[in-house]
Structure 1
Amino acid sequence: MEYIYQLPLGMSSKDVSEKQHVLEDGLNIKNKTFQWKISDILSLKFDRTIVKQLKDIGEKPTKERKQIEIDFDGMLLIRVYNHGLLEQYTWDESYVKSDSWSVPIGHTRSRLIRHDFDKYKHLIIAGATGYGKSAILKMIITNLVLQQPKNTNLHLIDLKGGSAFQRFKDLSQTKSFTREPKEAKDILKTIQEQMKNTYSEIVDKGYEDIKESGKKERHFIIIDEAADIADDAAAMEVITDVARRGRGAGYYIIYATQYPSSQSIPQQTKRNIPARLCFVLDDATASQTALGQTGAESLPMIPGRGIYKNVKTQVVQTPFITNEEIKIQIAPFIRRNKEVTSIEKPKENRSNSFELEEM
């Protein structure tokens, strides 16, 4: 059912959106009326226990909750759904969009939302442990590798110990990998120098950005648990610089944390990364920090259920890919018997030099 309202002067659609959980709770107040299904009636046995059977059906708790979706196109639209989103959408190869930089973010009730890095650039991901943050990062990496195997360059910084990104360490697309905050700073500085050189090359040739230049390669700096380097001013300065200038050079940041705060997500970084994906958080303050609005604290405790904010805010259920499926999909891109890794370090008067570092 869709309800359409004209907003009175002085009220914004945001005022209503922030009360979405109140409206949903009001729609789901239990009442004493019987809500039988045909299957309930067909299951009845007409014997001496019929009264008890009817009572049990009437008292049977329902798992279905009505949910609402709020939109604004000049009029306030409130859509009431009798059924919620599915609790899981299993990833398959239909989510892969060849030669594209867009990755699946999540399903709404009507469509699949994708995040196009060439259009929206960077992405902030926040959420409590166990509710989908690491899972979506693994899915994004897998999709990028499958969609653009020759042009994807990954810089993986896993400050939770390396458990999530370890499986991607030996990918031919992985150019740098670390689990240590100190090494993370060095990697970020190297990336910054590469970005500066790429940006200068693009601008010097008269192009506005990487897309106009026709260059195919893109670099993805993926940081899981960014809070662990939040107190390193030099590292955060690089992240802010890449978030500000990387968009033109094809250097995109995916910045993830389970502890969203003004320290772990600095204001300058937030201003340069308007796209956000937020899973359930413990309070409204954390939601306000990560999303710029409340709402994440009221999400149901369902892994993968999140709020994607990019121009408009939408509740989504992210697709889930198993570790076994990831292993199968990335197997063709694993480097065997890897002994060394090269980290390009531009130096003065040595523009084509690089160092080999033993692993």
Structure 2
Amino acid sequence: MRLYRRNYNKAGKYTEYVFKIPLGLELKDFVDKHGKFKDGLNNRSARRINLKDFRNLKFDATLPKQIRAILENRVQLSKEIEMEYDGMLIMRVYDEGLQQSYDLTPEIIKAAKSWQVPLGVTLKGQVVHDFEKGPHILIGGATDMGKSNILNVIITVLLSNQPEDVEFTLIDLKGGLEFGIYENLPQVKNFATNAEEAKTALENVKDEMERMFNKLRSTGKKNVKALGVTKRHFVIIDESAELSSSGEQDREEKALKIECENLIKDIARRGRASGIRLLYCTQYPTAETVSSQVKRNLITRICLPVDTATASTVVLDEGGAEDLPLIQGRAIYKRNRCTQMQAYYISDEIIDKTVKPLIRIRPRKEERYVPLRKETPEKGGSYTTRFEET
């Protein structure tokens, strides 16, 4: 292979190599050997002197030994490789890979604009997801790999930056333990912990969606942004596998879950125009728990470590997540292409500081929605918009 260019990027801390791919080979041939390239780069250690260690020297008989240890200190290399193709093979070798943790700070939260949410860090920089451009997200990953932390990041950032305009339907099918802290917020319009409650919550969301579609049709607008509506309603389903009808033996329970599945499919298909955003999450990514109809409308994907290539394919439509290191928060974020990231870690302290003032200042209303059927005239007539003071 002929090397056309080699540059070191000081700001990005990487060396970029540009090659011409020989005839008969393609990018996939190199991507498939990513692990071998990485192991070859990191099969040795490098000397690293930390000047701060000199501050802790003890001036006694062991001083020469201490200085020798500092000067001879070696660390295992942890270089990382990225590859892409634009007519030439571009390989970037980063001096260091991703850290195992990056804290979400108030400064990072405040820097996010409009409906943007900072999700994590890649080798190239920050991942910021814009829910106006990618309204729905499919999130999958094995147990205890950081899925709930990502959801807490999204909820907290939205509450912090859009407290007047954000609304939530939280369906927590793990007993309400993950989302319990948010239950009494005025922004939470529906809260469910089982299939029966989930059905009611999803029906409420569908009623809201239909009301907005009626308004859009009557005004000739195509979506809520064109209509000037600033509110956005986020439907977050944690552990959607609990709503899967596949394998359910009880007839009534199966019928109930089928209704939930149909409601979710409808929200995924039509929710965008009406200002509804769907976050569909599961720790059991299979073809049964993540239907093709839902996947088609959830373009953005986040996959944390999974145990098989099949599970990775269910979430990402390709393998890769099965090879992620078993680090909480390590994930593949996919919009147009897959990018490995380390999700931000959000502390309970930041969540509490965001949530508690909202509960105290704006107490929860008991009445949520007026069902659509009570507002729709039986024959003809016109639609009347009713405003209620909260």
Considering the TM-score relative to the shorter chain, is it more than 0.5?
Answer: yes
Superposed, which structure 2 residues align to 1:207-226 within 5 Å?
207-226=221-240
In 2, are the aligned partners of 1:152 and 1:173 still within 8 Å (CA)? yes
Counterpart residue identity of residue 356, structure 2:
A
- 1:339/1:276 Cα in 2 relative to 1: closer, same or farther (>3 Å)? closer
In 2, are the aligned partners of 1:347 and 1:353 still within 8 Å (CA)? no
Q: Which moved more, 1:106-115 or 1:67-76?
A: 67-76
Deviation at 1:324, TM superposition (A): 2.1
Counterpart residue identity of residue 207, structure 2:
E
- 1:24/1:150 Cα in 2 relative to 1: closer, same or farther (>3 Å)? same
TM-score (norm 1): 0.86
The residue number in structure 2 matching 1:357 is none
Alignment partner of 2:368 out of 330, 342, 345 = 342
The residue number in structure 2 matching 1:23 is 37
Counterpart residue identity of residue 340, structure 1:
E
- 1:321/1:8 Cα in 2 relative to 1: closer, same or farther (>3 Å)? same
Deviations 1:287-338 (A, max 9, x none): 1111111111111121111110001211111111111220112222115765
Deviations 1:261-298 (A, max 9, x none): 10111111111111011111111111111111111111
In 2, are the aligned partners of 1:18 and 1:295 still within 8 Å (CA)? no
The residue number in structure 2 matching 1:176 is 190
The residue number in structure 2 matching 1:138 is 152
In 2, are the aligned partners of 1:192 and 1:242 still within 8 Å (CA)? yes
Alignment partner of 1:293 out of 309, 318, 326 = 318
Deviation at 1:101, TM superposition (A): 0.6
Superposed, which structure 2 residues align to 1:102-121 within 5 Å?
102-121=116-135
- 1:94/1:207 Cα in 2 relative to 1: closer, same or farther (>3 Å)? same
Deviation at 1:200, TM superposition (A): 2.9
Matched, 1:36 2:36: no
The residue number in structure 2 matching 1:283 is 308
- In structure 2, the gaps of 5 or more residues are 1-14, 246-256, 378-382
Hey, what's the Cα distance between the residues in 2 that align with 1:208 and 1:265?
28
- 1:248/1:39 Cα in 2 relative to 1: closer, same or farther (>3 Å)? closer
Deviation at 1:203, TM superposition (A): 3.4
Q: Which moved more, 1:76-85 or 1:267-276?
A: 76-85
Hey, what's the Cα distance between the residues in 1 that align with 2:314 and 2:24?
25
Alpha-carbon RMSD: 2.9
- 1:46/1:301 Cα in 2 relative to 1: closer, same or farther (>3 Å)? farther
Counterpart residue identity of residue 144, structure 2:
G
Hey, what's the Cα distance between the residues in 2 that align with 1:194 and 1:248?
12
In 1, are the aligned partners of 2:301 and 2:316 still within 8 Å (CA)? yes
In 1, are the aligned partners of 2:135 and 2:272 still within 8 Å (CA)? yes
Alignment partner of 2:178 out of 164, 167, 180 = 164
Hey, what's the Cα distance between the residues in 1 that align with 2:156 and 2:356?
11
Q: Which moved more, 1:182-191 or 1:196-205?
A: 196-205
Q: Which moved more, 1:190-199 or 1:157-166?
A: 190-199
Deviations 1:30-82 (A, max 9, x none): 5xxx7433469x99x999x99xx99xx79x7x444221122333433221112
- 1:19/1:225 Cα in 2 relative to 1: closer, same or farther (>3 Å)? farther
Alignment partner of 1:152 out of 149, 158, 166 = 166
Hey, what's the Cα distance between the residues in 2 that align with 1:39 and 1:46?
22
TM-score (norm 2): 0.80
Alignment partner of 2:88 out of 72, 75, 87 = 75
- 1:235/1:18 Cα in 2 relative to 1: closer, same or farther (>3 Å)? farther
> Identity across aligned pairs (percent)?
36
Matched, 1:88 2:101: yes
In 2, are the aligned partners of 1:344 and 1:353 still within 8 Å (CA)? no
Hey, what's the Cα distance between the residues in 2 that align with 1:118 and 1:152?
13
In 2, are the aligned partners of 1:210 and 1:249 still within 8 Å (CA)? yes
Deviation at 1:146, TM superposition (A): 1.0
In 1, are the aligned partners of 2:159 and 2:354 still within 8 Å (CA)? no
**Number of paired residues?**
343
The residue number in structure 2 matching 1:234 is 259
- In structure 1, the gaps of 5 or more residues are 355-359
In 2, are the aligned partners of 1:99 and 1:148 still within 8 Å (CA)? no
Counterpart residue identity of residue 166, structure 2:
T
Q: Which moved more, 1:233-242 or 1:212-221?
A: 233-242
The residue number in structure 2 matching 1:256 is 281
In 1, are the aligned partners of 2:42 and 2:77 still within 8 Å (CA)? no
Match of 2:272, SS state, is helix
- 1:297/1:11 Cα in 2 relative to 1: closer, same or farther (>3 Å)? same
